[in-house]
Amino acid sequence: MKVRVRLAPSPTGTLHLGTARTALFNWLFAKKEGGTFLLRIEDTDIERSKEEYIKNIYEGLQWLGINWDESPTIQSERVNEHKQIIKTLIDEGFAYKCYASENELDEMRETQKKNGLAPKYDNRHRNLTQEQEAEFINEGREPVIRFKISDQKLISWNDLIRGKMTWSGKDLGGDMVIARRAPADLIGDPLYNLVVVADDSAMQISHVIRGEDHLANTAKQILIYEALNLNIPVFAHTPLILNSEGKKLSKRDGVTSISEFKKMGYTSEAMANYMTLLGWSVPEGINERFKISEISDIFSFKKVNKASAKFDWDKLNWLNSQVIHEMSAQTLLEILDPLFKENGWYLPNQEWGLHLVNLIGPSMVLINDGVNQAKPFFEEPELSYDGKKQLGIKESKVILKFILEKLENSDAALFSKDDAVDLIKHVTKDCNVKKGLVMKSIRAALFGTLNGPDLIQSWVLLSRFSKDRTRISRFI
Ligand code: GLU
């Protein structure tokens, strides 16, 4: 069988982590099988679908390195085909018009609730006589279209992740609505389950890989495939992603969309790596740190867990720091320089920039850490509580005065590591103070805090701008 898979996002929001993970599993499977990975934009909810979300979805996938084959199918452009299929279903007796009003349906559900029953459409308009139907039309009622679901029907499929699945027709909520309300002589807007079957079939999708929240939809869709006598694809339902409290990851957890992770400073490589691990266990002997292009030939649904995956920030952070630490200084600078420029920070030259990233890179976990850590090299830093305390010490002023005098006679452009080391030695001796005190005083004056990367190297870099003098002079 020629493998053709698809991602079918609804552009009613930005690219969600769960959708991106589904995209990855589809993409990996297509790569492994030498198949095709397609995209379908499910934009039939006109009010909630937005062009900016379509753009966000495309950009997010591209950023993650998930490229699709062929041009995307736009679901709303196929509405005539969908309506044609609904007409066929009505003509062949699989679907019918239901005139029950919203009030009547609410009453029905209320009664069910009172009797301790789950809400379910009671199929009351499944067998209307022509006279009854004419009466409803006369009353000006607009029907929905419902697809018949027999309570006795058992629906089964072999899920690539979950094994044999069986659903009973009686658990599917009664005859399902496949088209919204519209005047009786028309067909209203076609709805999700119908449309998905129509499109997956038209796109010749061989495997439907999506989240386990679609299990009941799969059962319903299989009934539509059967009614239309279409080939039924193979299904694989991926586990949910849960937050640390074991609840489904949602907007309430803060960051859930790929563009937000990007904004926070996560790399695409770490994100793609981490999302693959959300559900997939690496085979023995394979490192958990990988590029998705490296694992496509070993990816298999056999190693995708049925159990939900818990989102683990520590692991994502660890992977992100690994990715950053593996980057060459050149690459890291190419990523950071545009962010520096956004802040109005310009490198004096390339070599200086490379030194800077070599200095700050090893402690970066997020790309944004690089911006925060570079800040005092470009802007006068604010004094932290510890920095202020340090500079309040009497000896600190003496030390800084001494240093400033020496610096006045040196050329900032030539100030070297050896110069810095010598200077610290001199101050320690001449002022008769401890080296630690000298170091802390310099750091506090130059960078505002007592922690940071190697002081000597930081100082040398900063001195290239002659900023060390102005900063030191503030405190004496
Ligand atoms: N538009 C649906 C969603 O975003 C697609 C589900 C499917 O893959 O069939 O959940």
Q: What is the pLDDT of residues 348-380, one digit of tens each?
A: 999 999 999 999 999 999 999 999 999 999 999
What is the dotted CATH code of the domain comprising 4-70+194-241? 3.40.50.620
Ligand 1 lined by 273 (C-beta under 6 Å): no
> pLDDT for 122-177, tens place per residue?
999 999 999 999 999 999 999 999 999 999 999 999 999 999 999 999 999 999 99
Domain ranges of the chain: 4-70+194-241, 79-192, 251-324, 327-378, 385-473
Residue nearest to atom 10 of ligand 1 (CA): 9
The yes-or-no verdict on residue 247 having pLDDT over 90 is no
Q: Can you give the pLDDT at residue 197?
A: 98
Q: What fold is seen in the domain 251-324? A: Glutamyl-tRNA Synthetase; domain 2 (1.10.1160)
> pLDDT for 258-307, tens place per residue?
999 999 999 999 999 999 999 999 999 999 999 999 999 999 999 999 99
Ligand 1 lined by 196 (C-beta under 6 Å): yes
**What's the gap in Å between 211 CA and the centre of ligand 1?**
8
Ligand 1 lined by 5 (C-beta under 6 Å): no
Ligand 1 lined by 374 (C-beta under 6 Å): no
Ligand 1 lined by 210 (C-beta under 6 Å): yes
Mutation test residue for ligand 1: of 19, 42, 224, the one with most atoms within 8 Å of CB: 42
Ligand 1 lined by 15 (C-beta under 6 Å): no
Question: Yes or no: is domain 79-192 CATH 3.90.800.10?
Answer: yes
The yes-or-no verdict on residue 250 having pLDDT over 90 is no
Q: Give the number of the atom of ligand 1 that is nearest the alpha carbon of residue 7.
A: 8
Q: Give the number of the atom of ligand 1 that is nearest the alpha carbon of residue 9.
A: 4
Ligand 1 lined by 200 (C-beta under 6 Å): no
**What's the gap in Å between 10 CA and the centre of ligand 1?**
7
Residue nearest to atom 3 of ligand 1 (CA): 9
Q: What is the largest CA-CA distance in the chain?
A: 110
> pLDDT for 33-67, tens place per residue?
999 999 999 998 889 999 999 999 999 999 999 99
Mutation test residue for ligand 1: of 5, 10, 53, 224, the one with most atoms within 8 Å of CB: 10
Ligand 1 lined by 8 (C-beta under 6 Å): yes
Ligand 1 lined by 238 (C-beta under 6 Å): no
The yes-or-no verdict on residue 248 having pLDDT over 80 is yes
The rounded mean pLDDT for the chain is 95
**What's the gap in Å between 206 CA and the centre of ligand 1?**
16
Question: Yes or no: is domain 385-473 CATH 3.40.50.1820?
Answer: no
Residue nearest to atom 6 of ligand 1 (CA): 8
The yes-or-no verdict on residue 410 having pLDDT over 90 is no
The yes-or-no verdict on residue 251 having pLDDT over 80 is no
